[in-house]
Amino acid sequence: MSHPAGAEHAEPASKLFIWVWIWLLLLTAVEVVLGYEQYPVKLMLTMLMSLSVIKAALIMAYFMHLRFEKLKLVLTLVPALVVILCLFSIFFFPDSLRLMNLGWGR
Residues that bind another protein (CB under 8 A): 1-2, 4-7, 11, 14, 17-18, 21, 24-25, 28, 31-32, 34-36, 38, 41, 44-45, 48-49, 51-52, 55-56, 59-60, 62-65, 69-70, 72-73, 76-77, 80-81, 83-85, 87-100, 103-106
What is the biggest distance separating any 2 CA atoms in the chain, rounded to whole angstroms? 62
Give whole-number Cα distances, 39 to 14, 19, 44, 45, in Å.
Answer: 37, 29, 6, 9
Provide the minimum distance between the beta carbon of 35 and another protein in the complex, in angstroms, as a whole number. 4
Provide the minimum distance between the beta carbon of 20 and another protein in the complex, in angstroms, as a whole number. 8
DSSP H stretches of helix in 1-106: 14-37, 41-58, 71-101
